[in-house]
Amino acid sequence: AQRVTQPEKLLSVFKGAPVELKCNYSYSGSPELFWYVQYSRQRLQLLLRHISRESIKGFTADLNKGETSFHLKKPFAQEEDSAMYYCALRGTGFQKLVFGTGTRLLVSP
């Protein structure tokens, strides 16, 4: 079975502080992992995917197969990072995404 766990419902930090949003997954094969973000009153959109190993808006995420984790990190949070973040998994050969329960990031000035 495919499962994504985001243990934190809310993460509150001050501007300039480091941020780590946790994501753990359960899947027996080789998954593809993603982070999606939803800013206030905007539609859900892709932030980054593990296969591209890129940094988007200062965020990075490394797939750790040993720990089955895909945590999202940013060294210095900005107020505009406040949003709902969802970790998602796609299994090999599958077309559908399985989402975690989401973490709301609140960055205060």
Partner 1 sequence: DVKVTQSSRYLVKRTGEKVFLECVQDMDHENMFWYRQDPGLGLRLIYFSYDVKMKEKGDIPEGYSVSREKKERFSLILESASTNQTSMYLCASSLSGEVEAFFGQGTRLTVV
Residues near partner 1 (CB under 8 A) are 6, 9, 32, 34, 43-46, 49, 51, 86, 90, 95-102
CB-nearer residue toward partner 1: 77 or 100 = 100
Contact assessment for residue 56 and residue 83, using Cβ atoms and an 8 Å cutoff:
no
Least distance between partner 1 and beta carbon 80 (Å): 20
CB-nearer residue toward partner 1: 19 or 23 = 23
DSSP, res 11: E
CB-nearer residue toward partner 1: 70 or 100 = 100
Tokens representing 6? 């985001």
Least distance between partner 1 and beta carbon 46 (Å): 5
Q: Which residue shows structure tokens 């090999």? A: 92
Residue 53 to residue 62: CA distance in whole angstroms: 7
> Measured between alpha carbons, how far apart are the two ends of the chain, in Å?
41
